[in-house]
């Protein structure tokens, strides 16, 4: 077994060099390429020694990864990695364990702390047709917040043998807990058997595979981090699910079969599943066969023998079979912390209540009033946050209650007396919620005259791609929610798509807030003939009946002018004014603008395409270049009025269509949320 010293900012062990590759004129960007650990042997960079020592109990080794570094541990053919705890609690520390030979074993390994990168923590495959095994492993501390931060266990597409995955605990990953579908979908056809495993609050999917079994496993969504599909079966199938609990709590499908045009088969037996999200099942391609013993009462339980801490895994002392909710330990004497705050969700009209509060003294969880201590609640110094449903959370503290925020209507009591949370809430008073729909993406834009901040109200996600500038907000939702809190008044609201918008809990009509086309553009003739083209990022309309004006795609107009003026109204930003012949005066909202500063009329050479035609549902994206960027109709792409261009950044969404953009310079950044295909064509015009 080989272990590399920690390396700073080195992604090569995950098959990702940090740059967009270029091969000839065409490059296909696939988000899965960022996860592959096939090139794990090609680590480069300065060697920086990581601290290594023996645990106090002498029954396992401890590897401590320094801040800002990533440890890479390789397990070769016929080798065993066992009884090891990897400590990644330092800021920015993370680890990758790569095993890509044959007949290897990983057992009794615990990862302590949240991993911090998009790389897989365990990248595995058996490439010589043998049988390898990973067992008694803990990755339950999760990953840091961030788009696709954390892939729990990734099986590379080159896997041709069989892997037994037993008693592995993975939680709060940003890109699948057990990501095992690549060998069957587009790889060497290897199989996996997953047994006695636990997955909680991981995005995309908990158990994702193309062929194999899932036995006596639990998948849980609580809303504390991210919500994923319980079982996601990819081609070729079949996938056998036995004796499992799929406790999705109405937050995602229990089982999805088929993806990216491929079909599969799921056979379920003696499995309890949740039906609260669209009936619990989605058949994108293939079938779900319900055999005997199934039901709709799943439980959140860790399978017997599955570890519940990094130390238990590393020492081989896991017991499992326990609830995620644990009892209080090491409580202080109540005289040290005389005050009690209780969050009681038992009689609330909302399904759950999110809370956060700060006190002026010390603070810890407690079992007062019969409350349980939930591992999902967090205490950080004198602050705490958590979620209650039809149960109680309680805390003891000294000093005074300084601030309190509540999303939901659980009762709050301090020392037995119910209080009004609004008296302690210093957040902006209004909340706007944009709720997406499965049918299509929804784009929205609004303006307020006060402070505005993103919020997780009603379990909304906080999306880095949403733009907030001086009270002006725009973003995109599909089958999720965005929420914002703000002070002052809602002045302007534009919504394009099937989504709904509510203000302070009441659904609103966007047409009642401001004008649909708030901006005014005037072109004034000089007495000499001039021809021009205007492009905006939203919608443009001509205020007149001049036959010379041609409106193209709702975002672009063309016309000629001799004298007088032509007036347009539009939404979004003015992205380009180009005079193809002559010149005229241009005024935007009564201010003179220079057409040369609104765009670049040269033909941009490269094109970026986001193709959602074969994706499993809508996808959103953002990209940034260091040159110019414009919308394009390349490959019959739609010119979508809802996609947003700001300077050198684009934000948009695709359903079953294509979006395309001309650009020059280099592609600096790209983010994709969903399964759309992405293509970059350099020198597409053969200039």
Q: Taking 70 as the threshold, does the pLDDT of residue 640 lie above it?
A: no
Token pair for residue 24? 């000839």
Neighbouring residues of 24: CB distance < 8 A, sequence distance ≥ 6:
none
**pLDDT grade, residue 76 (50/70/90)?**
very high
* Confidence (pLDDT) at 257: 93
Rounded CA-CA distance 115/10 in Å is 15
The percent of residues above 70 in pLDDT, for the chain, comes to 83
Q: Taking 70 as the threshold, does the pLDDT of residue 347 lie above it?
A: yes
Rounded CA-CA distance 671/202 in Å is 19
Element (H, E) at 347: none
pLDDT tens digits along 384-394: 989 988 888 99
Question: Under a CB-based contact definition with an 8 Å cutoff, are residues 94 and 88 in contact?
Answer: yes
* Confidence (pLDDT) at 598: 67
Residue 446 CB burial class (10 angstroms; 0-12, 13-18, ≥19): buried
- Listed ranges 289-293, 310-314, 531-535; the one with the highest mean pLDDT: 310-314
Average pLDDT score, the chain: 81
**pLDDT grade, residue 192 (50/70/90)?**
very high
**pLDDT grade, residue 428 (50/70/90)?**
confident
Element (H, E) at 498: none
* Confidence (pLDDT) at 7: 34
Pairing verdict, β 392-397 and 339-344: antiparallel
E strand intervals along 88-226: 94-99, 105-112, 120-124, 131-139, 151-155, 162-171, 178-180, 191-195, 198-200, 204-209, 212-215, 218-220
pLDDT tens digits along 328-340: 333 334 457 889 9
Element (H, E) at 257: strand 255-257
Neighbouring residues of 487: CB distance < 8 A, sequence distance ≥ 6:
428, 429, 430, 448, 450, 451, 452
Look at the pTM and tell me if it is higher than 0.75. Answer: no
Q: Is 100 helix (H, G, I), strand (E, B) or coil?
A: coil
Rounded CA-CA distance 316/189 in Å is 32
Give the residues across from 232 on adjacent strands: 208, 256
pLDDT tens digits along 92-115: 899 999 999 999 999 999 999 999
Q: Summarize the confidence of residues 499-518 as an average pLDDT.
A: 84
Rounded CA-CA distance 568/3 in Å is 65
Q: Summarize the confidence of residues 147-169 as an average pLDDT.
A: 91
Rounded CA-CA distance 419/361 in Å is 19
* Confidence (pLDDT) at 570: 84
* Confidence (pLDDT) at 642: 59
* Confidence (pLDDT) at 132: 97
360, HSE (Cβ side, Cα atoms, 13 Å) = 4
Q: Summarize the confidence of residues 196-212 as an average pLDDT.
A: 95
Q: Summarize the confidence of residues 631-643 as an average pLDDT.
A: 72
**Which among 105, 99, 103 has a CA at the least distance from the CA of 125?**
99
């Amino acid at each position: 077994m080989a272990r590399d010293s920690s390396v700073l900012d080195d992604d090569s062990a995950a098959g990702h060099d940090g740059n967009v590759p270029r091969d000839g004129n065409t490059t296909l960007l696939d988000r899965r390429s960022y996860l592959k650990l096939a090139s794990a042997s090609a680590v480069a960079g300065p060697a920086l020694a990581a601290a290594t020592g023996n645990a106090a109990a002498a029954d396992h080794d401890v590897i401590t990864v320094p801040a800002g570094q990533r440890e890479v541990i390789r397990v070769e053919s016929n080798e065993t990695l066992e009884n090891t705890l990897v400590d990644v609690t330092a800021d920015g520390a993370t680890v990758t364990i790569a095993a890509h030979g044959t007949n290897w074993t990983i057992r009794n390994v615990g990862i302590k702390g949240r991993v911090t990168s998009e790389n897989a923590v365990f990248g595995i495959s058996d490439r010589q047709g043998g049988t390898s095994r990973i067992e008694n492993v803990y990755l339950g501390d999760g990953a840091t917040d961030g788009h696709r931060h954390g892939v729990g266990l990734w099986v590379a597409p080159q896997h041709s043998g069989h892997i037994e995955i037993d008693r592995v605990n993975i939680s709060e990953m940003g890109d699948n807990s057990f990501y095992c579908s690549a060998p069957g979908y587009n790889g060497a056809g290897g199989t996996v058997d997953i047994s006695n495993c636990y997955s909680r609050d991981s995005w995309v999917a908990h158990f994702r595979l193309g062929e194999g079994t899932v036995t006596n496993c639990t998948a849980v969504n609580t809303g504390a981090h991210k919500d994923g599909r319980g079982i996601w079966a990819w081609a070729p199938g079949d996938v056998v699910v036995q004796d499992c609990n799929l406790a999705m709590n109405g937050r995602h499908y229990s089982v999805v079969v088929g993806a990216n045009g491929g079909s599969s088969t799921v056979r379920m037996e003696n499995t309890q599943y949740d039906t609260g999200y669209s009936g619990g099942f989605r058949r994108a391609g293939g079938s779900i066969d319900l055999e005997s013993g199934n039901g709709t009462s799943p439980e959140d339980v860790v399978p017997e023998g599955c570890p519940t801490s990094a130390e238990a895994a590393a020492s081989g002392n896991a017991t499992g079979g326990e609830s995620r909710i644990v009892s209080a330990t090491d409580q202080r004497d109540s005289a040290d912390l005389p005050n009690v705050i209780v969050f009681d969700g038992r009689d609330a009209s909302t399904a759950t209540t999110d809370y956060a509060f700060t006190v002026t003294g010390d603070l810890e969880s407690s079992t007062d009033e019969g409350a349980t201590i939930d591992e999902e609640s967090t205490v950080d110094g004198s602050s705490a946050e958590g979620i209650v449903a039809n149960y109680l959370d309680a805390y003891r503290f000294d000093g005074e209650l300084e601030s309190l925020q509540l999303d939901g209507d659980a009762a709050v009591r301090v020392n037995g007396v119910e209080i009004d949370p609004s008296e302690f809430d210093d957040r902006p008073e209004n909340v706007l919620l944009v709720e997406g729909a499965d049918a299509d993406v929804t784009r929205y834009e609004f303006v307020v005259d006060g402070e505005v901040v993103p919020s997780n109200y009603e379990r909304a996600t906080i999306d880095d791609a949403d733009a907030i500038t001086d009270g002006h907000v725009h973003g995109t939702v599909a089958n999720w929610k965005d929420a914002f809190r703000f002070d002052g008044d809602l002045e302007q609201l534009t919504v394009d798509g099937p989504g709904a918008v509510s203000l302070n809990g009441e659904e609103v009509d966007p047409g009642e807030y401001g004008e649909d086309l708030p901006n005014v553009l005037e072109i004034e003739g000089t007495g000499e003939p001039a021809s021009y083209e205007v492009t905006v990022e939203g919608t443009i309309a001509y205020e007149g009946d001049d036959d010379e004006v041609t409106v193209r795609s709702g975002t672009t107009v063309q016309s000629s002018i001799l004298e007088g003026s032509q007036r347009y109204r539009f939404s979004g930003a003015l992205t380009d004014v180009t005079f193809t012949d002559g010149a005229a005066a241009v005024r935007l909202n009564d201010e003179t603008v220079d057409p040369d500063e609104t765009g670049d009329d040269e033909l941009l050479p490269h094109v970026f395409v986001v193709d959602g035609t074969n994706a499993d549902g809508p996808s959103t994206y953002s990209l940034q270049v260091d040159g110019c960027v414009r919308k394009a109709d390349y490959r019959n792409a739609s010119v979508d009025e809802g996609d947003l261009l700001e300077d050198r950044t684009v934000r948009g969404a695709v359903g079953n269509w294509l979006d395309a953009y001309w650009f020059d310079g280099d592609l600096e950044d790209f983010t994709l949320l969903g399964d759309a295909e992405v293509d970059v064509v350099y020198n597409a015009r053969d200039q």
